[in-house]
Homo-oligomer: A and B are copies of this chain.
Amino acid sequence: MEKVFSYLRDNEAKFVEQLLQYVRFPSVSAQPQHSGDMKNCAEWLRDHCRAIGLEAELHATAGHPILVARTRRRKGRKHFLVYGHYDVQPPEPFELWKTPPFEPRIEGRSMFGRGASDNKGQNLAHLKAVEAYFKTKTELPVDLTFVIEGEEEVGSSHLAEFLRAHRDELKCDAIVISDTGMPSKKLPALTYALRGIMALEIKLTGPARDLHSGIFGGSVENPAMALCRLLAQIHDKNGRIAIPGLYDDVAPLSKFERAQFVKLPFTPEQYRKLLGVPALFGEKGFTHHEQRSARPTFEINGLTSGYQGAGSKTIVPSWASAKITMRLVPNQKPARLQKLVQAHLKKLCPPTVKLEIKSGHGGDPYIVSPTSQVALAAMRALKAGFGAEPIAMREGGSIPIVNDFKRILGADTLLLGLALPDDNAHSPNEKFDLDNFAGGMRMAAQLWQELAAA
Chain A: residues with CB nearer than 8 A to chain B? 195, 197, 199, 201, 206-209, 211-222, 224-225, 227-229, 231-235, 271, 275-283, 288-289, 291-293, 295-297, 299-308, 311-317, 320, 322-323, 325, 327, 350-354, 360-361, 395-398
Q: Which residues of B contact A307 (CB under 8 A)?
A: 301-302, 323
Q: Which residues of B contact A221 (CB under 8 A)?
A: 277, 279-281
For A318, the closest partner residue in chain B by CB is B276
B397 touching A214 by the CB < 8 A rule? yes
Task: Kindly name the residue among A201, A213, A396 whose own CB sees the greatest number of chain B CB atoms within 10 A.
Answer: A213
Q: Which residues of B contact A280 (CB under 8 A)?
A: 219-221, 352
**Are A313 and B301 CB-contacts (below 8 A) given A323-B307, A353-B278?**
yes
B303 touching A316 by the CB < 8 A rule? no
Task: Kindly name the residue among A232, A291, A300 whose own CB sees the greatest number of chain B CB atoms within 10 A.
Answer: A300
Q: Which residues of B contact A218 (CB under 8 A)?
A: 282-283, 291-293, 295-297, 327, 396
**Minimum distance in angstroms from A27 CB to a CB of chain B:** 23
Copies of this chain, tallied across the complex: 2
B396 touching A281 by the CB < 8 A rule? no
Question: Pick the contact of A217 from B302, B317, B327 — CB < 8 Å?
Answer: B327
Q: Which residues of B contact A316 (CB under 8 A)?
A: 299, 301
Q: A218-B283, A225-B300, A300-B320 are in contact. List 19 more A-B contacts (CB 8 A).
A: A201-B312, A208-B275, A209-B276, A213-B325, A215-B395, A216-B292, A218-B396, A220-B277, A221-B281, A225-B231, A229-B232, A277-B352, A281-B350, A299-B314, A301-B314, A302-B313, A303-B308, A304-B308, A314-B325
**Are A352 and B216 CB-contacts (below 8 A) given A303-B305, A323-B312?**
no
**Minimum distance in angstroms from A396 CB to a CB of chain B:** 5
Q: Which residues of B contact A216 (CB under 8 A)?
A: 275, 292, 396
A selection of 19 A-B contacts at a CB cut-off of 8 Å is A211-B275, A213-B297, A215-B397, A219-B271, A221-B281, A222-B299, A225-B231, A225-B235, A225-B300, A227-B228, A227-B303, A228-B303, A229-B231, A300-B305, A300-B317, A300-B320, A301-B307, A301-B312, A303-B320
**Minimum distance in angstroms from A130 CB to a CB of chain B:** 31
A224 touching B278 by the CB < 8 A rule? no
**Minimum distance in angstroms from A129 CB to a CB of chain B:** 28
A276 touching B208 by the CB < 8 A rule? yes
A292 touching B217 by the CB < 8 A rule? yes
A285–B128 Cα gap in the complex (Å)?
78
Q: Which residues of B contact A304 (CB under 8 A)?
A: 303-304, 308
**Minimum distance in angstroms from A312 CB to a CB of chain B:** 5
**Minimum distance in angstroms from A88 CB to a CB of chain B:** 18
A306–B304 Cα gap in the complex (Å)?
9
A276–B306 Cα gap in the complex (Å)?
17
A217 touching B305 by the CB < 8 A rule? no
A227–B303 Cα gap in the complex (Å)?
10
